[in-house]
Structure 1
Amino acid sequence: MLMSWLKQLSSSWQQKRLQRPELASMFAPPTAGQWVAIDCEMTGLNPRKHHLLSVAAIHVNGNTIDTGNGLHLVCRPPVMPDRNTIVIHGLRTADVEHGMSYDEMLAILLPFIDNRPIVGFCPQIDTAFLNPLVKHYMGTTLPNQVIDVRELYSRRMGNPDHSAPNPSQHLTKILAHYHIPELGTHDAYNDAVMTAMAFLHVR
């Protein structure tokens, strides 16, 4: 009861700080059976010194992944990716230098997310990069519930320790456990699709 009241209070406080009225529906209670799987590619894992490169988002409706209407948005970071990180995410300067600004990306991404709970694999990393940009854009951080597929899988396996030193390998483990085909990791859209497929098995 207390937790529910605190969540409502936090949501109300966030909504009062909203600077873009067209996004007010993000604060509405989510519709049952609707989620959005997201994945981001960055130049590194430290939001204080690294930058967002691309974001993918896909709707999950009931037991269906709506891959035909997903988003894959490439952004133009303030600092171009270097040789050491290109081998990980595959995004070169030529791929991102004509990408969207962060505001342009959010103008498309946020209405797509709307009030759906966000599903991700270690989504705390993704939201750590997104939230400062979102707050600058609309005055508040993402109000959505965030669901970590890794934690759901750990509970399903009876393991209270959610730590995973290598998140990519751990996602591979979940995919293998449920015989889910790998689409190629470190591509935001592929990772979002695989995360959505894993979510349908562990939710």
Structure 2
Amino acid sequence: MSWLKQLSSHWQKTHLQRPELASMFDKPLANKWVAIDCEMTGLNPKKHHLLSVAAIHINSDNIDTGNGLHLVCRPPVMPDRDTIVIHGLRTADVEQGMSYDEMLALLLPFIDNRPIVGFCPQIDTGFLNPLVKRYMGTTLPNKVIDVRLLYSRRMGNLAQGDPNQSQHLTKILAHYEIPELGIHDAYNDAIMTAMAFLHMR
């Protein structure tokens, strides 16, 4: 770890408001990751809201689907009809969901110090980090791995020749002959992302 990363990690840990989450700053164990996917009402965290989060442990070459999380949240504004066709979550599905703090109380210990694996995970962390910072005083300290970038590097010039090739999870799944479980469902997307990651790591 570079001195800059060490300094950043130290600063974050000193601002941690929940001591029970201190292990998130520990050095992660080898061959342990967590795949994450979120569903939102849109892509702008300044005006859209988080609806659900799924997280699944990856241990070496195994995806622990039996112990994953799929948490539905109650947003401050209910999803409108236009976005329901994308994320599939109706008002009836989310109005009885958990608060963001209740969700984080389950999600953060589950993530712990594992590197986060996602497809375009900067979008997911863009929604999670403001909530995480309010909850524990700092943003997620975890390393973040984007399977889209892994795929682009793996494919090299092939991906560059087709700019869409590295943009869509379905393209990556097809390349590795991974069955589609149904996209825009956070839990299914997390499983498929984890499977793609294991093919590329």
TM-score range, shorter chain: over 0.9
Superposed CA offset, 1:90-146 (max 9, x none): 000000000000000000000000000000000000000000000000000000000
Tell me, yes or no, if the aligned pair for 2:172 and 2:196 is still in contact at 8 Å. Answer: yes
Return the offset for 1:89.
Answer: 0.5
Superposition pairs of residues 118-157 of structure 1, within 5 angstroms:
118-157=116-155
Matched with 2:111 is: 113
Q: 1:183 aligns with which of 178, 181, 184?
A: 181
Question: Residue 166 and residue 173 in structure 1: after superposition, are their counterparts in 2 closer, same or farther (change >3 A)?
Answer: closer
Report the residue type matching 1:74 in the other structure. V
Superposition pairs of residues 22-37 of structure 1, within 5 angstroms:
22-37=20-35
Superposed CA offset, 1:144-194 (max 9, x none): 000000000000001486x96798x61100000000000000000000000
Tell me, yes or no, if the aligned pair for 1:53 and 1:76 is still in contact at 8 Å. Answer: yes
Q: 2:71 aligns with which of 70, 73, 78?
A: 73
Residue ranges of structure 2 left out of the alignment (5+ in a row): none
Q: Counterparts of 2:103 and 2:164 in 1: how far apart (Å)?
A: 30
Residue ranges of structure 1 left out of the alignment (5+ in a row): none
Return the offset for 1:4.
Answer: 1.3
Question: Residue 63 and residue 134 in structure 1: after superposition, are their counterparts in 2 closer, same or farther (change >3 A)?
Answer: same
Matched with 1:171 is: 169
Matched with 2:43 is: 45
* Over 4 Å off, 4+ runs: 163-167
Matched with 1:96 is: 94
TM-score, L = length of structure 1: 0.95
Report the residue type matching 2:175 in the other structure. H
Matched with 1:63 is: 61
Matched with 2:6 is: 8
TM-score, L = length of structure 2: 0.96
Q: 1:193 aligns with which of 183, 191, 196?
A: 191
Q: Counterparts of 1:31 and 1:166 in 2: how far apart (Å)?
A: 32
